[in-house]
Chain A
Amino acid sequence: MSELLTPRERFGLLVIDEVQDRVPIFPLLTSHAAVVTGVRLRDYYTNGEVLARCQLQAREFYQTDFISIFSEVGIVAEALGSEFVYPEDDLPVLSSPRWTELERAVPECGAEIKLGGRVKVYLDAINYAWEACADIVPVLAYVPAPFTTAQQLVEPESFLLGLLEKPEMVKVLLDYSTRAVQEFCRLLIRAGALPIIVDPLASGSVLSPEQYREFALPGEREIIKFLHRYDLDVVLHICGDTSGIVTLLPETGADLVSVDLVDLGMVIKTIGQEVRVIGNFHTSDLWLSNPEDIYERVVAMVKQGKNCPRGYVAATGCEVPLATPVANLRAFVAGAREASGYQFPILRQRE
């Protein structure tokens, strides 16, 4: 059945604090798009047009509300010189960071930013998708945050030890990473995509709240400030358990916060007056559970989420797993749709 609003119109209302016809539906449908369209993963993330076509087909197939231009969080690190291998049927894997240790990185961090690697793949994908459907569907491009990017520029052991033993060196690297991510964002904006900041390596599974505040948050805030220069509505996604940093998330300036392994009710209660909340169906359950269970649990999730005062987007907590059965993701979308309706049209008054 055709709906009254297009995804573009729906999202447009959400970000100006207006009621929509229903909650936008946003399973983080990334590389699963290649699987469901029968494309080899390596072709997906090395060819922008292929990536975009898969996204367009997958969105049409599942009837979701966004296009997701993304393969993995190494895109900026690779663009700065880290090396990745490209398995035929899996996502890129970091094989050799640009620097073996922090001490080698720091002297080179003042250099001018030049982005290579697969950035052009991203830009081609955005351009293709934007030309194809940007009047109807928002085109999102995932941007690894400075902390996540920095962690892939240096051997992980050196970087993680540096957090404890050489924090000033880490911050020099983070400044460099922040400049690079900002430049990456500039290219995405010109191509027509709305950047969504992802910082999986800043998760509570990796960093303490104090470390998050010291190392990850400043870079996120800097990038979001840059995007706000353009008046863009910025999504910040952090994977894993973020319960320890929920109260810090509005400090980043994000307009929409996407959460993963954390109690949705608690998130809404804590920050739902300040930001729109996106989340957070467990992705393992999406992969391994059955459609009936998924449907019921998504209905319950959306009923809870749609009461978020600033607005809500029905989403998975993280990326849709590659091997997710089609019937399961369809059940997710169907459940979200079932529970997502608002009384529309209706106008809310600003308090």
Chain B
Amino acid sequence: MVIDYQDPPARRVTFDEWDDLFARIPDELIEQFHYFPPNQEPWSKYLFPPQTFAIYGARHLRRLKFDNSLAALRLWGFVQNEGERLFRARQIRRKVVAVMGDLGPLAVIVNSFPGCVAFYPDCWWWTPFAMESKVLLNKAEELGMGEASCFSRAALGAFAKHSYFPDPDLVIAATGASCDDYSAVESLVAGRYSDVLWVETPRRPVNEDEADRFEQLLVAEYQQVLKALADLTGTEMTEALLSDGIRRANRIRQATEQLKTLAYQDGVLPALEMMVVEFGCLHYYSDLTEWTGVVEHLLQTAQKRKERGERVVPEDALRLGWITPPADPLLLTYVEDRGARLVSTEYVINQALVLIEETLPPLRAIARSLLAASLIGSSRSRLAGFLREAVEREAEGVVVSGLLGGSHCAMESRLIADYIKSRLSIPVLEFDVAPPNKAIDRQTRTRIDAFLELLRSRR
């Protein structure tokens, strides 16, 4: 069916402007997009504007600016109803599996099992910011994780509430070389809310011998995961199924890489949507098939814009690198409003972005992808890809946004800042993101403003 809708000229729009655009969208188009395809149940529609989600509590949406393409609307609608999607998954008898801590590889394994839906509760750390709410953080504090730990403690609150995602059929948690704060979340979940299948994660290898041993260790751990999932689903995993799972994950990772180039080099998509895309590589917002469609729709939009010479951020905007996810998405809107654009990012999810080698035995390939992880090795190894892109795209400055209370951030942010200064000889701004609020605190705004002014003066 051909539906008459054309994107307006590319630009970032406000919350209210999106509602004006939504009024132009034909009903038939809204009907076209459903999650869990080929399911066509009315509850699975998702092409809805930010207003819908603001009414249901996502207050921060009102302060953000969005890309004005249909593909971006699709992206936001899809991402915002993920909690409901997980409940619906259970209602239609899919197995819902929580994977924790490794941010990428375990989801590839789980999603290879037919009828399984993997999700990272870790990602509920966005919720307090999206809702401008302390509900989940307060709940975590009641359970022993207060403000001296990372915002990822919101995941503990979400487990305790039983209302942000369904109680999982299985919880698999990576431990060992991983985030300290999140290890605490995992431990408390294990003690109170679920049995947990632990997966030992080694640190990043420093030589080939270690690499081989660590891969073997991980393969043995993943074999336990396969067994648990086989028990849960009644399906024995085959190499063919796993290989197919890897191909599907790689399809998204490839599209994401292309989008990163188009957005960060050619300025055809805003930083906010791109961050959402990058994080989509973790668990595909709980629906791999439909997320593939969303990302490829965005890719088509980005390619068309490039062909037409359309940009959403000016070419002469200040070129920034950004390290560690900003937690508060308003920060990305803010820097673009102030005349900057992102050209390179490192959101601690390297392991979800690298292509998984399709010529290796599947579990070995997944293990190797994990060993590229951001948080299991030195800061220098974490930053290798970032630096390459920052140099290629002539970054003029770098922002390192630490997480207030995040144990690794307190030490690592300074190390990263020093290392970048020594390698790139460009200014670095380092700050901790404040807890959820309606606006960016004045001190942070002032520091960002001053930093951008400094970069401008260096031109």
Residues of A within 8 A of B (CB): 4-6, 8-10, 12-13, 16-18, 20, 130-131, 134-136, 138-139, 186, 189-190, 192-194, 229-232, 344-345, 347-350
Contact = CB atoms under 8 A, between A and B. Distances in A.
Contacts of A16: 43, 84, 87-88
A189 B162 contact: no
A139 B88 CA distance: 25
A20 B163 CA distance: 8
Interface string B338-378: 00000000000000000000000000000000000000000
B167 A135 contact: no
A5 B164 CA distance: 11
26 contacts: A6-B135, A8-B56, A9-B161, A10-B163, A12-B57, A13-B163, A16-B43, A16-B84, A16-B87, A16-B88, A18-B87, A18-B163, A18-B166, A130-B59, A131-B59, A134-B59, A189-B19, A189-B51, A190-B16, A190-B19, A229-B30, A230-B48, A230-B51, A344-B162, A347-B167, A349-B91
Given A12-B163, A17-B91, A190 B57 contact: no
Interface centre among A13, A186, A231, A347 (most CB of B within 10 A): A231
B55 A189 contact: yes
B216 interface: no
Main secondary structure of the interface of A (DSSP, over half): loop
B52 A135 contact: no
Contacts of A17: 91
B183 interface: no
A231 B19 CA distance: 14
B84 A345 contact: no
A193 B59 CA distance: 12
Given A16-B88, A136-B133, A350-B91, A9 B163 contact: yes
B453 to A, nearest CB: 31
Given A229-B27, A230-B48, A231-B48, A347 B59 contact: no
A173 B438 CA distance: 43
B57 A8 contact: yes
Contacts of B384: none
B101 interface: no
A345 B167 CA distance: 8
Interface in B82-107: 83-84, 87-88, 90-93
Contacts of B55: 134, 139, 189, 192-194, 230, 232
A60 B90 CA distance: 34
Given A135-B133, A135-B135, A192 B161 contact: no
Contacts of B54: 134, 192
B162 A136 contact: no
A206 B458 CA distance: 75
B93 A134 contact: no
B131 interface: yes
A347 B90 contact: yes
B181 interface: no
B49 interface: yes
B91 A348 contact: yes
A231 B52 contact: yes
B278 interface: no
Interface in B102-153: 131-133, 135
Given A6-B135, A135-B135, A345-B162, A12 B30 contact: no
**The 3 nearest A-B residue pairs measured at CB:** A350-B91, A135-B133, A345-B162
A288 to B, nearest CB: 36
A135 B132 contact: yes
Contacts of B248: none
Given A5-B163, A135-B135, 8 more contacts: A8-B57, A18-B166, A131-B59, A135-B57, A135-B132, A190-B51, A192-B55, A230-B52
Contacts of A138: 56
B306 interface: no
Contacts of B93: 349-350
B45 interface: yes
B159 to A, nearest CB: 10
A9 B93 CA distance: 23
Nearest to B438: A131
Contacts of B27: 229
Contacts of B135: 6, 9, 135-136
Contact of B49 (A4, A131, A134, A230): A230
Contact of A232 (B19, B52, B62, B131): B52
A46 B83 CA distance: 39
A4 B30 contact: no
A350 B16 contact: no
A135 B131 contact: yes
A194 B52 CA distance: 9
Contacts of B164: 9
A138 B58 CA distance: 11
Contacts of A18: 87, 163, 166
Interface string B259-276: 000000000000000000
Contacts of A194: 55-56
B130 to A, nearest CB: 9
A40 to B, nearest CB: 30
Contacts of A135: 57, 59, 131-133, 135
A231 B91 CA distance: 19
Interface string B216-252: 0000000000000000000000000000000000000
Interface centre among B59, B163, B164 (most CB of A within 10 A): B163
A32 to B, nearest CB: 24
A20 B87 CA distance: 13
Interface centre among A130, A139, A229 (most CB of B within 10 A): A229
Nearest to B166: A347
B432 to A, nearest CB: 23
B25 to A, nearest CB: 9
A130 B48 CA distance: 20
A59 to B, nearest CB: 16
Contacts of B160: 4
Nearest to A17: B91
Interface centre among A8, A20, A134, A189 (most CB of B within 10 A): A134
A97 to B, nearest CB: 30
A255 to B, nearest CB: 10
B45 A231 contact: yes
Interface string B20-33: 00010001001000
